[in-house]
Structure 1
Amino acid sequence: MSRFLDKFRINPKGSSPDACQQDASSVLPSIQQGWGFLDMTLDGIVLLDQKGCILDANDRALEFLHSALTAVSGFDIWDVVSQEIAEQNQESTQQALDTSAQYSFIAQQNFENNWLEYTFRKHPQGYVLNLREAGSTQRLQRLLEDSKRYNQLIFEANPNAMWVFDLTTLRIFAVNQAAVKFYGIPRKVFMTLGMDALFPEGEGVELLSSLRPSTDGKETQSEMRLCRQKKMDGKQVLVELAWSHVKWDGHQAVLVTLADLSDRHFADNTLKSANTELTQALLAQQDELKNVRNDLLAFTQAVSSDLQDSLHVAHGFAARLAEKYSLVLDDQGRHYVRRIQASISQLARLVDDLRTLAQLPLRNSAVEAVDLVPICQSLIAGLRKRDPTRNVTIEMTESLVLVGHKNLLTTALSCLLENAWKFTSKKPEAWIKIGVQPGKAVGELVLVVADNGVGFDPVYSGNLFTAFQRLHSSADFPGNGLGLAIIKRVAQIHGGTVWAESADKIGASFFMALPQAAANAA
């Protein structure tokens, strides 16, 4: 057996890890300096000694390994991963590390529909193993999360007191540690304040007037100015204050930076430079988010072509197998073929729904008054054609006029009717009602789709509109849990809201409230 196997397969499965652990006390201190920071990454990181035995691992790695640290510490890494992964990759990894300092491979997790990338790197005291999800969507999500985390670290670590408030509501929704210390206000309390609470009475109005666009529509440039700020103990201090218009987590917001004039070691140029660097970092983060969004769109386009083509081919071969070789297969074999066909169909529907969810913002048509009655009639006709044996009573008002994007409203209505049709399938006398009613806000209308299906437990109503959340078994009611998430996203694009009601798990009503005045102005 190769030298790598001699190093890495010290313990047979189930054996004592003592042989691996004998040098851990001398190796760990030098490797683990700064180990706490590793839990901030989305990667799993495992420390191995020269024999390939596990010394330590961060929380993300333990999630990938489906184990606690106490259960795997001291064991050979190849005894912790699945036997199939070990058999397929152990020897090739050894051969690669004999001649290079790094080697990577990708393997599918058993019984899980996901792939992991394993990267081994040599270390003076042994090896470092990085584990990360290898799917395209996960890579894009990791870029987005890393970008957000980088932005937050810059903001939080800045030595200048900084806080951010919403330009519309004036509510403070972000504050760094320097500001918490300067004002003496706990962070939780800080996040409940409006921006005027930090100024002596009336002085916040002057700042707000400076933030309004000029007569030619241009935003005012950031500048330094002297003003007073009020601390938690009521003490007022003179500060130099600067502000910048930013877009922060979807908010049109204002970033406020201040320097206490009682501590002059923060010179003017240093403060301006720090503010400029932060603004540039925020702009860079916005550019990165834009690039991630473009990458996501490219991914969805690939899904809609390459992946669907592959699924179509796989489904065709499965159908051919069932047709031509059904007499050769036994009952178990035919059952497997049916399961393959069902899984392919389910995956195809999931791909369609994911593409729909990702591309919703691009489907905006012109805002107009849309009568949903003919759209409902067409969608219901399609449902009846698909399931001609069902007898479902449809109640619908004569006029269902909403102002909005026709394409998006059609998508949402399709998901609502599909949902009602599915969950009334076990009712011998099913009915579905569609209507529009006034909302709570002025100028708001609410689209209502109700049914007498199985309903849901109101305790879990908060999970209904979350992607991939299901309150019923897929064996009873097939689906992928994206329909209601699509409905919520359509409402959000219109500036509206969604909710659902069910009484004692008998029937359900789904509501989508749309601000008609806002839609007219869009």
Structure 2
Amino acid sequence: MSFSKEMAENLFQPQHLGLLRAVLDNSSEGVGIVDAKGTWLYMNGQCRKLLGLGPTGARPDDWSQSYGVFYPDTRTPYPSEQLPLYRVLKEQEAPDQELFIRNADIPEGRHVHVSARAVHGPQRSLQGAFFYIRDIHEQRQAETEWHRTEQRFQFMVEAAQEGVWMIDADRRTTYVNRYAAKLLGYEPEEIIGRHLFEFIAMQEHVQSNHKLEVQRDQGQSVTVDDFPLLRKDGTPLWTRISAGPLHDEAGTYIGSLAMVADISHRRAAEEQMRQLNADLERRIAERTAQLEFSNRELESFAYSVAHDLRAPLRSISNFTVALTEDCADKLDATGLDYLQRIRAASKRMAELIDGILALSRVNRTEFVETDVNLSAMAHTIAEQLQRWRPERTLRFHIQDGLVDRGDSQLLRLVLENLLGNAWKFTRECPVAEISFGTLPAEGGQGRIYFVQDNGAGFDMEYQQKLFGVFQRLHTQQEFEGTGVGLATVQRIVRRHGGRIWGEGRVGQGATFYFTLHDPPGAPPSPNLSNPS
């Protein structure tokens, strides 16, 4: 007798039966034993727990109903004759089975795994059978939940109105959702397993390879806009792709996941917008050229007409002087008055012609930009104005140190007109106050110049007429002038890339603001408080 056989026989001696029962009772798996007729001989505690019931005395044909045995779907009753324990008692093959137990003691049910083996005696006679039952409920619940999660994920991915594309480390497609496949004109099955570069134009391979290497080596996500993928018919599909690397539990790079958005409509709209802008720019250029040509023609015409009118006006003026000198004794008072009116009208027309010529010269003169000391220029003009009427009490307040870039001759015209207007419209003031200075521009960029006086002012209702040619807010009897000065100033300021506007009140003076070299987007007419 061998040593192992002797040990086995000793184990089954009466004095060791308690030890054997203790081992079976403390097993982590359920163990049950029946005789050849299916009568329960033994059932350990784990077996009773998993079955919910102990030995019931039910016949083998009633085992399924007695213990509440179902298929893993938890709804379909499992036939007793298919139970592994039943089959081994019939000397049939009995593969392991996964079952679901639900009865009065286990109302919520439990998933279990069972197996059975027959026990034979001498001459292969059937002595009985034993079976094992193992708890797999938590495992199945986890698998079910995982499966539900996967189904939800699959549903969301397939329902997404954005392409989802996965590749492995060899850049072969492992998954593509139906939306992405449809964008390219394929069924998903036609793309799975194929190399990514089969769907990318040859000229994009280098860039794509670089992006994938960045993902793999640096673990970074990348986004590529305006990227063309190839449709099944060979035409490009313009996309925006956001891709990130995939790693396994050990952190090893296993591929990439990309979100693919179709931007064809956006590109079409952008292209249409580019074409519209190009067409608009072309039309603007044509209209601008036409307008510039028309303006040049008008200026040339105005210059020619004004220049040619000088000679007949001089003749009219000279003949009225001759009539006055040579024929005064032959004319009565009415005739002399008529001659005086003709001379005054001729002088007025000559002044208007000079204004037209000055206005036309603003745009015809070559623009020479230098550093211009506006403060010194204003002081010189103020001294000239004071010498014209030394009896007037004038107080000029001129800010020093104002230097800007521009054409010195044109900027002199600006200050001569603005300071001259202030001098003219303050002549009824006992003490004329005239100021020239600057204010900070809105946003702190640049500055705003102003010329302010305490003279006659104007009604803001007529503000839009200030810079029109021959537009006057006062009669010739009130204040002399041609109505060309402010129009000339506006043209000069515009040539310097600036703006001009005025504010005033009747009897309370006026302020004219202007800028030079405005930044892009400057407001057309800032609302400023009085600078004084």
Normalising by structure 2, report the TM-score: 0.43
The structure with the larger Rg is: 2
Normalising by structure 1, report the TM-score: 0.44
User: Which has the bigger relative contact order, CA under 8 A and spacing at least 6?
Assistant: 1
